[in-house]
């Protein structure tokens, strides 16, 4: 059986004047259904670039990407939008809630774009909000919630469309460590329930909570293995990875 | 993206930034308001003109004869005969003889216009009587000294009790047998009919020194027969007078359509000028929508990351632009109709904004928003999701 996510020899090259930046330099990553994978690496190592490609927000310069058996690397914008809508759930560092919409309306958005009717939308959104324990706040605006609550709303939004993969780019980056741990615990719970989770972080203490760690450096995979392997957290070149994450 | 959510969001953002919304909509408001004012006043004016024509008789055919010599004239019997021979075309005929006469009641002289007519005049023109009767055939045949007077004279000379009283036309005593309804209760003698004194045309020709009759009023049987009736009259006059230079047949329906054409053209020009304001309004909306797209780049990125397609984003912004201009249109319609109601009486026109005009104005304002919103909406739809998400 094929993998859920299959990146094969993927390059992402940005042309900056005369120089080419290899944000991804021949990356091959396979992720199966039900895995909890942490992608780690220094700032600028290509984590977000990889995430954008996995998330169908971007296409590779070369190489192939199969998601759930479908080649998505050559798709049109609107086809990618449909894949994002059906198969992927995003959790961003900055929550990315729409400030003018209330919590419920925000969570309903993926269902709105999938063409669900209003009753289904409401039910699915409320169920997702209940899971993150924020059903009571459904009529609030995002600005009326704490950072941790907002991130939980964005998790609910990612869950609402019942996606195959949840992609989280530094989901705890903007939270204090305690709230960050709560969010992480929640992701672990989702994983235990069978969700596939791909998490980006530069924080080793968070990464080790995943089952598997993929370490990137200069656009290349330099480690791909279990999170409890001592090599997973070893810094081959530069010790200490507290550097700014962007 | 659901229509109702886009619509609700658009209304919300209109409400939250009132000043900006107002300025955005100003062009539309002014454009729609001026179109409504122009159309209301124009329609009001048309109605007024039409009702005046209507009073004079919508199927009226007015004949003027310019006899080349005393031997070649048109006699009243000939015109009555013409009418009798064409019952399918001509409903009625009446000579129309103006008399330059002084009208006296007691020692008081009144500025009235004395006209000699036949008993069938009420068939041709609207002559509503409030009291008494109109002239009879016997009055005309026997040249009886009877008259029917306009409401203004009745009021001025007799305080409304003129029926049965006597008035003097060039010194001859005439008995008032009927009073015509006032065309406008408060108006002066200027209004058509109100200062009329109708007498039998036979009396009128005698008062004029037995001059030949040069003016006749015909009524066609209907709108459809108007043209054919006119042709029938013309061919008979041609036969009698020998040359088309010696007569003229004026059709009231032709006059009405000429007047209609003129006011229509004037209104079209004015509406076109007002339309420029709508164009400017559209550009204003386009401008603000472009700003809005830039301001909301991140929102667009978020929506795209959640699966919004090009058409979803495009539709959202088009609905927003359409809503903005529709609200502007509604304000403009309200402003325009109240302005027309205010200005109408000042210029003596009863403004009448038709439902169609209002509907079209609303439709046009929505269309302006949609058309001018398309470009910004398309720009939003084409944004690259990653760039949009990164945007601050
Ligand atoms: N749009 C772009 N144009 C040019 N270069 C880019 C672009 N996006 C990313 N890069 C470059 O690609 C490389 C990888 O960037 P990426 O954002 O994937 O890093 P990252 O691992 O997510 O870093 P961080 O931990 O700071 O978020 C960097 O050198 C970056 O400068
Ligand atoms: Mg990054």
The DSSP string of B67-89 is -SBTTB---HHHHHHHHHH-TTT
> What distance in Å separates the CA atoms of residue B227 and residue B61, rounded to the nearest whole number?
10
Domain of B365 in residue numbering reads as: 3-52+258-390
Using the mean position of ligand 1's atoms as its centre, give its distance from the Cα of residue A243 in Å. Answer: 14
Sketch out chain A's domains with CATH numbers.
34-57+77-233 (3.40.50.300)
Q: Which long-range contacts (CB under 8 A, 24 or more apart) does A226-234 make?
A: A227/A38, A232/A207, A232/A208, A233/A204, A233/A207, A233/A208
- Answer yes or no: do B34 and B99 share one domain: no
Using the mean position of ligand 1's atoms as its centre, give its distance from the Cα of residue A26 in Å. Answer: 15
B251 found inside a domain: no
pLDDT for A203 equals 84
CB A94 within 8 A of CB B301: no
Three-state SS at A4: coil
B102 found inside a domain: yes
Angle between helices B355-381 and B18-56 (to 10 degrees): 150
Task: Find which of B305, B382, B391 to mutate to test the A interface (most A CBs within 10 Å of its CB).
Answer: B305
B380 found inside a domain: yes
Tokens of B93: 């005929």
| A5 sits in which H/E element | strand A5-16
- Answer yes or no: do B185 and B284 share one domain: no
Per-residue buried b or exposed e for A161-190, using 16+ beta carbons within 10 Å of the residue's own CB: bebebbbbbbbbbbbeeebbeebbebbeeb
pLDDT for B193 equals 67
Three-state SS at A49: helix
Q: Which ligand is nearest to the CA of A57?
A: 1
User: Inter-chain contact A85–B385, Cβ cutoff 8 Å?
Assistant: no
Which residue in chain B is spatially nearest to A55 when comparing CA positions?
B305
- Answer yes or no: do B262 and B363 share one domain: yes
- Answer yes or no: do B270 and B382 share one domain: yes
* Percentage, residues of chain A above pLDDT 90: 70
Q: Which ligand is nearest to the CA of A244?
A: 1
Which of B191, B211, B242 is a domain's end point? Answer: B242
- Answer yes or no: do B18 and B98 share one domain: no
What does the CA dihedral A60, A61, A64, A65 come to, rounded to 10 degrees? 0
- Flag whether pLDDT at A226 surpasses 70: yes
Size of interface A-B (CB pairs under 8 A): 64
Beta pairing partners, A20: A15
Q: Which ligand is nearest to the CA of A40?
A: 1
ipTM: 0.91
B57 found inside a domain: no
Q: Which of B2, B310, B389 is closest, CB to CB, to A112?
A: B2
Tokens of B220: 């066609």
- Answer yes or no: do B233 and B339 share one domain: no
CB A128 within 8 A of CB A53: no
**Does the predicted model carry a pTM greater than 0.80?**
no
Question: Counting beta carbons within 10 angstroms of the beta carbon of residue B99, is it exposed (0 to 12), middle (13 to 18) or buried (19 or more)?
Answer: buried
Dihedral sign from CA coordinates of A91, B8, B331, B324: positive
Model confidence band, residue A235 (pLDDT cutoffs 50, 70, 90): low
B311 found inside a domain: yes
Three-state SS at B355: helix
Question: Which residues surround ligand 1 with Cβ inside 6 Å?
Answer: A 14, 16, 21, 23, 41, 43-49, 202, 245-246
Residue B352's contacts (CB-CB under 8 Å, 6 or more residues apart) are B40, B43, B44, B47
Tell me which of A23, A50, A169, A201 to substitute to probe ligand 1's pocket, judged by most ligand atoms within 8 Å of the beta carbon.
Answer: A23
Using the mean position of ligand 1's atoms as its centre, give its distance from the Cα of residue A49 in Å. Answer: 6
Chunk chain B into consecutive blocks of 10 residues (it has 392) and report each block's average pLDDT, rounded to whole numbers. 75 82 90 90 85 80 85 87 92 93 89 92 88 94 94 88 92 94 62 82 91 91 89 91 88 86 90 88 92 93 94 92 92 93 84 84 92 94 92 80
Number of domains present in the structure of chain B: 2
Report which protein residue has its CA nearest ligand 1's atom 17: A48
Interface of A with B (CB under 8 A): 52, 55, 57-58, 77-78, 81-82, 84-86, 90, 92, 96-98, 100-101, 105, 109-110, 112-114, 118, 157, 161
- Residue B306 Cα, gap to closest chain A Cα (Å): 5
What value does the mean pLDDT of chain A take? Answer: 90
- Answer yes or no: do B137 and B263 share one domain: no
Three-state SS at B135: coil
B48 found inside a domain: yes
- Flag whether pLDDT at A243 surpasses 70: no
User: Mean pLDDT across the stretch A141-162?
Assistant: 93
Three-state SS at B18: helix
Which of B216, B242, B268 is a domain's end point? Answer: B242
Q: What is the 3-state secondary structure (H, E, C) of B32-51?
A: HHHHHHHHHHHHHHHHHHHH
Beta pairing partners, A226: A212
* DSSP-assigned letters across all residues of B173-241: EEEEEEEEPPSSTT--TTSTTTTEEEEEHHHHHHHTTSPPP-EEEEEESSTTTHHHHHHHHHHHHHHHH
- Answer yes or no: do B280 and B225 share one domain: no
CB A23 within 8 A of CB A14: yes
> What distance in Å separates the CA atoms of residue A68 and residue A65, rounded to the nearest whole number?
10
Report which protein residue has its CA nearest ligand 1's atom 10: A23
Residues in chain A: 246
> What distance in Å separates the CA atoms of residue B333 and residue B31, rounded to the nearest whole number?
10
- Answer yes or no: do B92 and B236 share one domain: yes
Task: Count how many Cα atoms sit within 13 Å of the Cα of residue B117 in the half-sphere of its side chain.
Answer: 25
Report which protein residue has its CA nearest ligand 1's atom 4: A14
pLDDT for A1 equals 56
Which of B217, B242, B267 is a domain's end point? Answer: B242
Query: CA dist B307 to A85, A208, B315, Å?
Result: 4, 31, 14
Tell me which of A10, A11, A14 to substitute to probe ligand 1's pocket, judged by most ligand atoms within 8 Å of the beta carbon.
Answer: A14
Report which protein residue has its CA nearest ligand 1's atom 16: A46
- Answer yes or no: do B302 and B278 share one domain: yes
pLDDT in tens, B245-298: 889 999 988 888 888 899 889 989 988 988 888 888 899 999 999 999 999 999
> What distance in Å separates the CA atoms of residue B224 and residue B236, rounded to the nearest whole number?
20
pLDDT for A120 equals 94
Identify the CA nearest to A217 among candidates A26, A3, A2, A8: A26
Three-state SS at B53: helix
Ligand 1: atom nearest CA of A42 is 25
User: Mean pLDDT across the stretch A132-149?
Assistant: 93
> What distance in Å separates the CA atoms of residue A218 and residue A200, rounded to the nearest whole number?
16
Using the mean position of ligand 2's atoms as its centre, give its distance from the Cα of residue B233 in Å. Answer: 95
Task: Find which of A49, A76, A100, A113 to mutate to test the B interface (most B CBs within 10 Å of its CB).
Answer: A113
Chain B partners within 8 Å of A95 (Cβ): none
- Answer yes or no: do B85 and B172 share one domain: yes
Q: Which of A21-25, A234-238, B343-347, B369-373 has the lowest mean pLDDT?
A: A234-238
- Name the phi and psi angles at A170, rounded to 5: 50, 55
CB B61 within 8 A of CB B250: yes
Beta pairing partners, A92: A169
B252 found inside a domain: no
pLDDT for A244 equals 45
- The single residue listed with the structure tokens 């020194």 is B209
pLDDT for B189 equals 52
pLDDT for B16 equals 80
User: Inter-chain contact B307–A78, Cβ cutoff 8 Å?
Assistant: no
Interface of B with A (CB under 8 A): 1-2, 5, 9, 12-13, 298-299, 301-312, 385-386, 389
Which residue in chain B is spatially nearest to A102 when comparing CA positions?
B9
pLDDT in tens, A104-134: 999 999 999 998 898 999 999 999 999 999 9
> What distance in Å separates the CA atoms of residue B324 and residue B315, rounded to the nearest whole number?
14
B247 found inside a domain: no
Angle between helices B18-56 and B252-295 (to 10 degrees): 170
User: Inter-chain contact B309–A77, Cβ cutoff 8 Å?
Assistant: yes
Dihedral sign from CA coordinates of B290, B294, B297, B299: negative
Query: CA dist B330 to A214, B28, B66, B335, B355, Å?
Result: 60, 10, 57, 8, 13
- Residue B299 Cα, gap to closest chain A Cα (Å): 6
- The single residue listed with the structure tokens 């209507």 is B54
- Answer yes or no: do B76 and B110 share one domain: yes
């Amino acid at each position: 059986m094929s993998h859920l996510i299959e990146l094969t020899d993927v390059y992402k090259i940005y042309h900056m004047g005369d120089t080419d930046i290899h944000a991804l330099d021949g990356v091959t990553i396979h992720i199966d259904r039900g895995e909890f994978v942490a992608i780690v690496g220094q700032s600028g190592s290509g984590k977000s670039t990889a995430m954008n490609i996995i998330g169908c927000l971007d296409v590779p310069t070369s190489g192939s990407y199969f998601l759930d058996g479908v080649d998505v690397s050559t798709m049109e914008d609107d086809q990618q939008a449909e894949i994002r809508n059906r198969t992927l759930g995003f959790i961003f560092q900055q929550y990315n809630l729409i400030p003018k919409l209330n919590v419920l309306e925000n969570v309903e958005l993926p269902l709105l774009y999938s063409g669900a009717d209003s009753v289904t939308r409401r039910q699915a959104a409320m169920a997702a909000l209940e899971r993150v324990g924020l059903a009571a706040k459904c009529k609030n605006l995002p600005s009326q919630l704490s950072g941790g609550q907002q991130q939980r709303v964005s998790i609910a939004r990612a869950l609402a469309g019942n996606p195959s993969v949840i992609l989280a780019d530094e989901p705890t980056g903007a939270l204090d460590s305690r709230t960050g741990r709560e969010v992480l615990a929640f992701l672990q719970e989702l994983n235990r329930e069978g969700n596939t989770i791909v998490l980006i972080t530069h924080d080793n203490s968070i990464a080790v909570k995943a089952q598997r760690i993929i370490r990137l450096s200069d656009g290349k995979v330099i480690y791909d293995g279990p999170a409890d392997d001592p090599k997973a957290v070893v810094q081959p070149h530069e010790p200490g990875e507290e550097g700014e994450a962007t | 993206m659901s229509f109702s959510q886009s619509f609700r969001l658009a209304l919300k953002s209109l409400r939250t930034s009132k000043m900006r919304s107002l300025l955005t909509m100003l062009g539309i408001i002014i454009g729609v308001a001026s179109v409504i004012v122009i159309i209301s006043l124009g329609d009001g004016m048309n109605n007024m003109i039409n009702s005046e024509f209507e009073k004079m008789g919508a199927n009226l055919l007015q004949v003027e004869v310019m006899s080349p010599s005393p031997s070649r004239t048109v006699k009243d019997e000939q015109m009555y005969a013409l009418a009798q021979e064409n019952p399918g075309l001509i409903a009625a005929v009446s000579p129309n003889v103006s008399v330059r006469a002084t009208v006296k009641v007691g020692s008081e002289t009144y500025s009235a216009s004395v006209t000699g007519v036949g008993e069938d005049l009420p068939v041709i023109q609207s002559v509503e009587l409030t009291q008494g009767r109109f002239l009879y055939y016997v009055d005309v045949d026997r040249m009886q000294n009877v008259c029917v007077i306009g409401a203004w004279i009745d009021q001025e000379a007799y305080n409304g009790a003129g029926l049965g009283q006597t008035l003097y036309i060039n010194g001859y005593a005439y008995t008032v047998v009927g009073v015509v309804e006032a065309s406008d209760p408060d108006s002066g003698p200027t209004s058509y009919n109100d200062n009329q004194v109708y007498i039998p045309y036979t009396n009128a020709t005698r008062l004029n020194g037995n001059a030949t009759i040069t003016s006749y009023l015909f009524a066609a049987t209907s709108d459809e027969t108007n043209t054919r009736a006119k042709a029938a009259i013309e061919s008979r006059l041609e036969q009698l007078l020998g040359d088309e230079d010696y007569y003229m047949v004026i059709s009231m329906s032709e006059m009405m359509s000429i007047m209609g054409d003129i006011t229509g053209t004037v209104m079209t020009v004015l509406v076109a000028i007002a339309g420029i304001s709508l164009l400017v309004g559209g550009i204003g909306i386009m401008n603000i929508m472009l700003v809005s797209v830039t301001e909301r780049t991140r929102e667009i990125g978020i929506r795209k990351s959640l699966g919004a397609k090009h058409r979803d984003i495009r539709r959202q912004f088009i609905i927003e632009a359409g809503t903005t201009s529709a609200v502007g249109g509604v304000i403009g319609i309200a402003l325009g109709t109240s302005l027309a109601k205010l200005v109408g009486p000042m210029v003596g026109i009863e403004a009448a904004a038709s439902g169609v005009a209002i509907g079209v104005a609303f439709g046009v304002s929505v269309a302006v928003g949609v058309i001018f919103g398309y470009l910004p909406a398309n720009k939003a739809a084409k944004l690259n999701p990653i760039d949009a998400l990164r945007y601050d």
